[in-house]
């Protein structure tokens, strides 16, 4: 019998979940919920119903795990603690500073309803967090580094688009190769924000707009660009569509540390990902944790969990024997 | 109160365990057991007793976790199932093909004694296994690659030393850079043994030995060298001591896979380590799992476990709140 999965929210992430379910034989998509008019939505999987988000609770007994695909700014802080009253849920809440608060709210609701809610699943938070934890546990005397990119930052792209005279734009975050090499050498450097990443912007300006002024406004924008070396390229709308419509991303988690009686030996642990599609990869991580949620719930585990709390074997469709034989 | 750790076997790995315990405030070394004459052994930690291995069982109530530092060929197959009758134990059993059998034997004994035994801990098996599992769960449509090195292979160095006319020798396993790049490109290549690794040997020959013959014997040795491109350098004993006395190692676990409705997007997940000291790094992983063993046992978990069965949070000395705040 398959694990019955529901998707709440059908944007890029929701579509990614749908694609990931297709790759996993033990999972089955049983419903998609949307805040749009359900009849306006065409999904990829044949024969799966689309319902209004308002009707979700009526379907609670048909769904083993509900995957929440909303945004972290306003959707998830309300949705996860609401839906965990009725469903086992997974979210990808990624506002790092607010995770403790989100955890408490979801934990309280989940313990009451005796459901499980796994929060902040994806790659950062998610796989990057796991790698930080493992590397810290192995090398207690060391230093962590996280680099993001090369990849599209949605927040920075949005910020560009708010600049007067800008029609459209896309921003790439790029790790500085020299900084990466320095970290990999094990020298434990202190790196400033500017030394770690550069930002590259592709901007479509309105006809007759003051490009010098746009470039200066972008480069000096506080929080978003002022602390970075930023490059601005003006391109046509066609070029933006042709060359920059993908959502690639990636990054690096590196810990370097010392061992030995006198800390005489250096070690470097590096985890990196290179993604053609950020939402599809995030979705693939989430779907593996949906499997874990289902199994843990069946063992009687309830409350809020994070990737830190879940033994790796729960993520795999393989039996313990197969895992030991083929992957250990 | 600290977790009281005992070390069984004081070779390179045992010494590494001793050094790793020093870096972890919640762990305390309470005894070292050896098959040598205990009075002949000087350990690094002041005030810690050295006992004969024969006396270990008499000290069972003083030790929370006993770390078994013997070899996989003959020591661990006998020791782990023996000592788990009296102690919670960790080993680094690394004969991949025999792990299922070892697991069963340890599991049976551990369930009887109500102890926990974590086997095959280190980096391969160990951290590499974990990364294979996570990456397989995330990208079911993909291909795994493991590269080892650059590093010293003990088995291959021993094989060199058995060649007539050879006084001493050291062998390095080296991943082929072009193969690594091809894998990282996401092209999912089929690679032969020869295409993945080269072997580099530093050999000290007896005076007057036939170097051409030695080189040929090494390069054509079945299983060890015949399937690889091997380079042999003849050097002096002094040079070997000066330049090749370290035990560096490392390696790469890479999985590349596809996502998307038509598998149109590629992703690459890469985990790599670069180690000055193979035994000290292995020891550092083991010590983190000793912490996990202690905690799991306190929660009532018994039997044989692998790295796949243990939630990451158990490895860290930090509280769940700290982990969420600083690493998630």
The one-digit pLDDT tens for each residue of chain A (328 residues) are 899 999 999 999 999 999 999 999 999 999 999 999 999 999 999 999 999 999 999 999 999 999 999 999 999 999 999 999 999 999 999 999 999 999 999 999 999 999 999 999 999 999 999 999 999 999 999 999 999 999 999 889 999 999 999 999 999 999 999 999 999 998 999 999 999 999 999 999 999 999 999 999 999 999 899 999 999 999 999 999 999 999 999 999 999 999 999 999 999 999 999 999 999 999 999 999 999 999 999 999 999 999 999 999 999 999 999 999 999 9
What's the residue count for chain B? 328
Does the CB of B48 have a partner CB in chain A at under 8 Å?
no
Query: Measured at the alpha carbon of residue B328, what is the angle toward residues A75 and B132, in degrees to the nearest 5?
Result: 110
Beta strands in chain B (DSSP E): 3-8, 27-34, 50-52, 65-68, 88-90, 116-118, 142-148, 151-152, 166-175, 197-205, 229-234, 249-259, 265-275, 303-305
CA distance linking residue A237 with residue B97, whole number of Å: 58
Does the CB of A270 have a partner CB in chain B at under 8 Å?
yes
Q: Which of B74, B134, B118 is nearest to B290 (CA)?
A: B118
Say which of B140, B275, B291 has its CB closest to residue A24. Answer: B140
What pLDDT score was predicted for residue A250? 97
A110 burial type by CB count under 10 A (0-12 exposed, 13-18 middle, 19+ buried)? buried
Count Cα neighbours of A256 within 13 Å in the Cβ-side half-sphere.
19
User: DSSP character for A176?
Assistant: -
State how far residue A163 is from chain B, nearest Cα, in angstroms.
32
Please give the distance of CA A221 from its chain centroid, rounded to a whole number.
25
Is the bond preceding A125 in cis, omega lying within 30 degrees of 0? Answer: yes
> In this complex, do B136 and A316 lie within 8 Å of one another by their Cβ atoms?
yes
Does the CB of B98 have a partner CB in chain A at under 8 Å?
no
Does the CB of B116 have a partner CB in chain A at under 8 Å?
no
State how far residue B176 is from chain A, nearest Cα, in angstroms.
19
> In this complex, do A327 and B132 lie within 8 Å of one another by their Cβ atoms?
yes
Enumerate residues 6+ apart whose C-beta is below 8 A from B203.
Answer: B160, B166, B168, B169, B214, B218, B232, B233, B234, B235
Does the CB of B327 have a partner CB in chain A at under 8 Å?
yes
Say which of A132, A140, A271 has its CB closest to residue B327. Answer: A132
Contact of B279 with B15, CB cutoff 8 Å: yes
Does the CB of B101 have a partner CB in chain A at under 8 Å?
no
Strands A249-259 and A142-148: antiparallel
What pLDDT score was predicted for residue B1? 80
What pLDDT score was predicted for residue A300? 97
State how far residue A49 is from chain B, nearest Cα, in angstroms.
18
User: DSSP character for A59?
Assistant: G
Does the CB of A181 have a partner CB in chain B at under 8 Å?
no
Taken in order A226, A232, A236, A238, the sign of the CA dihedral is negative
Query: Measured at the alpha carbon of residue A270, what is the angle toward residues B173 and A150, in degrees to the nearest 5?
Result: 120
Does the CB of A300 have a partner CB in chain B at under 8 Å?
no
> In this complex, do B308 and A310 lie within 8 Å of one another by their Cβ atoms?
no
Does the CB of B35 have a partner CB in chain A at under 8 Å?
no
Enumerate residues 6+ apart whose C-beta is below 8 A from B130.
Answer: A134, A312, B307, B308
**What's phi and psi for B110, nearest 5 deg?**
-70, -35
Interface test with A, best of B90, B121, B255, B267 (most A CBs within 10 A): B267
DSSP H/E element including A116: strand A116-118
Q: Which of A157, A128, A120 is nearest to A145 (CA)?
A: A128
Q: Which chain B residues have a beta carbon less than 8 Å from that of A24?
A: 140
> In this complex, do A313 and B265 lie within 8 Å of one another by their Cβ atoms?
no
DSSP H/E element including A105: helix A99-113
CB interface of B with A, residues 56-95, below 8 Å: none
CA distance linking residue B50 with residue B41, whole number of Å: 7
What pLDDT score was predicted for residue A1? 80
> In this complex, do A311 and B306 lie within 8 Å of one another by their Cβ atoms?
no
- Return the residue of B nearest to A132 by Cα: B327
State how far residue A81 is from chain B, nearest Cα, in angstroms.
18
Does the CB of B178 have a partner CB in chain A at under 8 Å?
no
State how far residue B237 is from chain A, nearest Cα, in angstroms.
24
State how far residue B315 is from chain A, nearest Cα, in angstroms.
6
CA distance linking residue A326 with residue A316, whole number of Å: 12
CA distance linking residue B237 with residue B235, whole number of Å: 7
> In this complex, do B99 and A328 lie within 8 Å of one another by their Cβ atoms?
yes
Does the CB of B269 have a partner CB in chain A at under 8 Å?
yes
State how far residue B257 is from chain A, nearest Cα, in angstroms.
10
Does the CB of B26 have a partner CB in chain A at under 8 Å?
no
> In this complex, do B312 and A284 lie within 8 Å of one another by their Cβ atoms?
no
What string of pLDDT tens digits covers the 328 residues of chain B?
Answer: 899 999 999 999 999 999 999 999 999 999 999 999 999 999 999 999 999 999 999 999 999 999 999 999 999 999 999 999 999 999 999 999 999 999 999 999 999 999 999 999 999 999 999 999 999 999 999 999 999 999 999 889 999 999 999 999 999 999 999 999 999 998 999 999 999 999 999 999 999 999 999 999 999 999 899 999 999 999 999 999 999 999 999 999 999 999 999 999 999 999 999 999 999 999 999 999 999 999 999 999 999 999 999 999 999 999 999 999 999 9
State how far residue B88 is from chain A, nearest Cα, in angstroms.
20
What are the structure tokens assigned to B128, written together?
A: 């590499």
CB neighbour burial string for A172-191, b if at least 16 within 10 angstroms, e if fewer: bbbbbeebbebbbebeeeee
**What's phi and psi for B4, nearest 5 deg?**
-90, 115
Q: List the A197-205 sheet strands across, edge first.
A: A151-152, A166-175, A197-205, A229-234
């Amino acid at each position: 019998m398959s694990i019955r999965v529901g998707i709440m929210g059908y944007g890029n992430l929701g579509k990614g979940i749908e694609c990931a379910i297709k790759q996993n034989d033990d999972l089955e998509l049983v419903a998609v919920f949307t805040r749009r008019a359900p009849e306006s939505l065409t999904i990829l999987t044949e024969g799966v119903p689309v319902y209004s988000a308002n009707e979700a609770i009526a379907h609670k007994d048909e769904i083993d795990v509900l995957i929440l695909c909303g945004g972290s700014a306003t959707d998830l802080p309300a949705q996860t603690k609401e839906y965990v009253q009725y469903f086992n849920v997974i979210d990808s809440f990624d506002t790092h500073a607010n995770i403790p608060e989100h955890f408490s709210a979801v934990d309280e609701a989940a313990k009451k309803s005796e459901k499980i809610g796994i929060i902040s699943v994806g790659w950062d938070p998610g796989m990057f967090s796991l790698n930080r934890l493992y590397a810290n546990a192995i090398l207690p005397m060391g230093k962590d580094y996280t680099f993001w990119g090369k990849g599209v930052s949605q927040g920075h792209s949005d910020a560009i688009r708010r600049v007067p005279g800008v029609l459209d734009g896309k921003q790439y975050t790029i790790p500085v190769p020299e900084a990466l090499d320095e970290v990999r050498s094990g020298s434990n450097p202190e790196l400033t924000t500017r030394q770690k990443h550069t930002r590259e912007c592709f901007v479509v300006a309105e006809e007759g707009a003051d490009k010098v002024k746009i470039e200066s406004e972008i480069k000096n924008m506080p929080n978003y660009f002022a602390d970075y070396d930023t490059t601005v390229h003006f391109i046509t709308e066609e070029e933006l569509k042709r060359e920059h419509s993908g959502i690639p991303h990636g990054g690096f988690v590196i810990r370097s540390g010392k061992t030995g009686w006198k800390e005489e030996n250096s070690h470097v642990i590096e985890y990196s990902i290179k993604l053609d599609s950020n939402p599809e990869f995030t979705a693939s991580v989430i779907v593996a944790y949906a499997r874990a949620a289902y199994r843990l719930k069946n063992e009687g585990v309830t409350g809020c969990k994070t990737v830190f709390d879940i033994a790796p074997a729960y993520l795999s469709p393989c039996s313990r024997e197969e895992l030991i034989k083929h992957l250990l």
